[in-house]
């Protein structure tokens, strides 16, 4: 995701404009998504964000549970 984010931040807009202005680029992909699809990029970034928060919440549940046991033991 870092590489994808770096591409979007640094290269995407210029390349997108060049394609809009007629740069001959094959955008055919074997899968459903193209790196030049802004919707696909934003969905990927959004999914990464949601997954990161999900993992953070899961970790906090474990850590909070551990903290509760430590306080009750003392």
Question: What are the structural domain ranges in the chain?
Answer: 1-71
d(CA 47, CA 1): 11
User: Residue 15 pLDDT > 60, yes or no?
Assistant: yes
Mean pLDDT of the chain: 85
Confidence of residue 58 (pLDDT cuts 50, 70, 90): very high
The answer to whether 6 and 35 have CB atoms below 8 angstroms apart is no
Q: Residue 36: which of 13, 53, 54, 6 has the closest Cα?
A: 13
Asked if 52 and 9 count as a contact pair (C-beta separation under 8 A), the reply is no
Q: What is the pLDDT of residues 27-53, one digit of tens each?
A: 887 777 777 888 888 889 999 999 999
pLDDT reported for residue 51: 96
What sections of the chain are H helices per DSSP? 2-7, 13-20, 38-73
């Amino acid at each position: 995701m870092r590489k994808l984010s770096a591409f979007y931040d640094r290269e995407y807009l210029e390349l997108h404009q060049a394609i809009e202005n007629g740069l001959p680029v094959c955008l055919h992909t074997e899968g459903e998504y193209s790196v030049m699809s802004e919707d696909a990029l934003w969905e990927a970034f959004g999914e990464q964000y949601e997954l990161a928060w999900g993992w953070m919440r899961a970790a906090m549940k474990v850590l909070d549970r551990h903290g509760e046991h430590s306080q009750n033991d003392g």
